[in-house]
Structure 1
Amino acid sequence: MGCMRYLSEAHLRGFERYKYSSIDTSFLSVYVMHPFWNYCVKFVPKWLAPNVLTFVGFLMTVVNFILIAYYDWGFEAANSETGNTVPAWVWTVAAINILIYYNLDGMDGKQARRTGTSGPLGELFDHGLDSYSAALIPIYLFSLFGTHDLPPIRMFFVIWNVFLNFYLTHVEKYNTGVMFLPWGYDFTMWGVSGMLFVATVFGPEMYRFSIYGFTVANMFEFVLIGSGMVSSHPIIARNIYLSYKNKTGKMRPMWEMLRPFFAFVWLFVITVVWSFFSRNDVINKEPRILWILYGTIFSNIACRLIVAQMSDTRCDAFNVLMWPLAATVGVCCFPYYQQVFDTDLTSDTERWILYGLTIFSTLAHWHYGYGVVSEMCDHFHIRCFKITKQTVAAEEELQDVVEDAKPTENVEEV
């Protein structure tokens, strides 16, 4: 990576001490999916690196995004009076790809333990790609409803709800040291796939009816937002509280405990300003690109938090990608633009600014991800997508270091 490095010595030393701790209480996950994954992983060749499974699963979500975007770039296909113009086979492929992503995401850790290659790189790689998928997956469903039943401004809050649910799980781990796997994830994956399969069999018109003005899109929003508020957020708050009460967590001071929220809230505020006060109503003209931009910067914030919580270091309070975003929003929402510059900011100009910023942010995020993975591979003398004798030896040595280190938490007490 040349002279640019993303991981400090403190990060790398923290990764050396890291040991994965998680609690999964979802009955669907524990009693159905884990036994199924334990069975399926037996058919995976032992020479196949776990990160390959992770990456292939992620690529399925990318394929879905590209495929549906090709047929419905502006989320307007469902608005047609003659029915959704996206071919039925697209929904079938999308539903299958979601299941592939979900199952490979469940099998990669088992493949790592099976091959003796468990380590911090695999978890970081997995959760980092999941943070990107958190932006991509909701976008598929928007094409089922169209902009008539689910206007872009409501899409905005749906996406941010997904961001919040994902982010809170890692804020929880940042403070407790334990990954409490959320119940909603398994049900959401099956729900998304089920909705896409229904669109295949009965047509997406199934999602266009309403009862006394209450549409399926309204139900979708209600269930998605309500489930997080009921089944996730209170439990996360309780787990953090208990970790302080029982002194089993990181025991950070209050402002340090809240520090992960700073960058998250900054991003939310900046995106709200652009979405509501754009001089050219960019949210209704280019919603898909806007979601990708927001999702990319969110993923970068989430990845940096994951690095901090895994290495037991201080997380960032502000993300560097928000500087160009804030500058762009300042220009595109400046109320006296015409008076100051003696010309107005045209719709095409704002659109090209959005495209340029999205490309820049995406490349910067990819560079960050590539850099972090490369630095960890160099440090631990392993390969990301290949199992070697050095990989197994490095993981065994890492486990010895972890066993010799004093544990920082007791999973059972949290």
Structure 2
Amino acid sequence: GTDGKQARRTRSSSALGELFDHGCDSWVCLFLAGSMFSLLGNIYTMVALVFLLAYWRSPTIFMKPLLFGWSSAAIFKFTLFSSLYFVHIPITLWNIIRTCPNKQPWHRGLGLWGVVRPLIPAGLLIFSSYIWAYYSPSNLLEKNTRTFLFCCGTIASNVTVSIIVFCRLIVAQLCHVPAPLHNKEVYLFSIITVVICFILPINKDTSIECIVLHLITSFVTLDHLYYAYQVVSTFYFHT
């Protein structure tokens, strides 16, 4: 972000600074999303208010209806999703293929499995978090929304940091070795999801699920900070 540009402008950038720059960026996404639903809420009141105001505006100022009776919000939503699937993703794939050096295969000789490997921990985390939110015995996502988001966001940041920011993926590609696959936080979260949702008989009125969520959130936060300490120590003793 801005701090990285400032460091490069003043020629004070370092490998450790770049790592922490990307590491903070991967964690700050959590707080950006949390601030949005903390401000607007996770109920449909705000959506309903915007919808009613949009249709109250039309007859009041004699505005003609938009295409096929759609509101401006519906057109904006359609444009946003269409650009994601038909513009951003194809252009990203095209840039990856086009920038391969010397017309080499885009997987750099690692094969399709070597490319998909880094996506497996993130995919497992997304799947597990969806299962826990959907099959939660005590409707955990509604009662502890911020804690649940903080837990999943911290694990996602750890997956990103341990695979990308610590240069393991980059080094693996340069050395033509497989990228790292395992992440203990993702495995722990997935196991707890299965146990809570499908094995333990938890009633809706009990607080056991909330206690488990707070415990795993505390663990992943401390583990994430300890990993950052390990990164600093490694660079300090090798530079």
Which whole-Å CA distance do the structure 1 matches of 2:220 and 2:72 have between them? Answer: 34
Q: 1:300 maps to which residue?
A: 158
Q: 1:250 to 1:372 in 2, by over 3 A?
A: farther
> Which of 183, 189, 209 is residue 325 of structure 1 equivalent to?
189
Which whole-Å CA distance do the structure 1 matches of 2:95 and 2:137 have between them? Answer: 43
Q: Name stretches of at least 5 consecutive residues in structure 2 with no aligned partner.
A: 56-69
Q: What's the offset of the Cα at 1:273?
A: 0.7
SS in structure 1 at match of 2:142: helix
Q: What's the offset of the Cα at 1:351?
A: 0.5
CA deviations 1:302-324 (Å, max 9, x no partner) are 11221223434543223110122
Question: Is 1:122 matched up with 2:36?
Answer: no
Q: 2:180 maps to which residue?
A: 316
Q: 1:107 to 1:355 in 2, by over 3 A?
A: closer
> Which of 96, 104, 107 is residue 247 of structure 1 equivalent to?
104
CA deviations 1:140-173 (Å, max 9, x no partner) are 11134322228xxxxxxxxxxxxxxxxxxxxxxx
> Which of 209, 212, 216 is residue 353 of structure 1 equivalent to?
212
> Which of 42, 45, 50 is residue 209 of structure 1 equivalent to?
50
- Do 1:304 and 1:315's aligned partners in 2 also have CA atoms closer than 8 Å? no
Which whole-Å CA distance do the structure 1 matches of 2:14 and 2:180 have between them? Answer: 24
Written as runs of structure 1 = structure 2, the 5 A alignment for 1:36-185 is: 105-115=1-11, 117-149=12-44
CA deviations 1:11-68 (Å, max 9, x no partner) are xxxxxxxxxxxxxxxxxxxxxxxxxxxxxxxxxxxxxxxxxxxxxxxxxxxxxxxxxx
SS in structure 1 at match of 2:43: helix
- Do 2:148 and 2:213's aligned partners in 1 also have CA atoms closer than 8 Å? yes
| Aligned positions, number | 216
> CA RMSD, aligned part only?
3.2
TM-score (normalizing by structure 2): 0.76
Amino acid at match of 2:135: F
> Which of 344, 348, 369 is residue 228 of structure 2 equivalent to?
369
Which whole-Å CA distance do the structure 1 matches of 2:92 and 2:179 have between them? Answer: 19
Q: 1:325 to 1:217 in 2, by over 3 A?
A: farther
Q: Name stretches of at least 5 consecutive residues in structure 1 with no aligned partner.
A: 1-104, 151-204, 381-414
Q: 1:208 to 1:119 in 2, by over 3 A?
A: same
- Do 1:125 and 1:373's aligned partners in 2 also have CA atoms closer than 8 Å? no
Q: 1:346 to 1:361 in 2, by over 3 A?
A: farther
CA deviations 1:324-348 (Å, max 9, x no partner) are 21221122101x633xxxx747531
- Do 1:283 and 1:290's aligned partners in 2 also have CA atoms closer than 8 Å? yes
- Do 1:207 and 1:217's aligned partners in 2 also have CA atoms closer than 8 Å? no
Q: Which moved more, 1:293-302 or 1:224-233?
A: 224-233
Amino acid at match of 2:197: C
Q: 1:110 to 1:295 in 2, by over 3 A?
A: same
SS in structure 1 at match of 2:122: helix
- Do 1:277 and 1:333's aligned partners in 2 also have CA atoms closer than 8 Å? yes
Q: What's the offset of the Cα at 1:216?
A: 9.3
Q: What's the offset of the Cα at 1:223?
A: 6.6
Amino acid at match of 1:379: H
TM-score (normalizing by structure 1): 0.46
Amino acid at match of 1:143: S
Amino acid at match of 2:50: F
> Which of 252, 260, 265 is residue 123 of structure 2 equivalent to?
265
- Do 1:149 and 1:215's aligned partners in 2 also have CA atoms closer than 8 Å? no
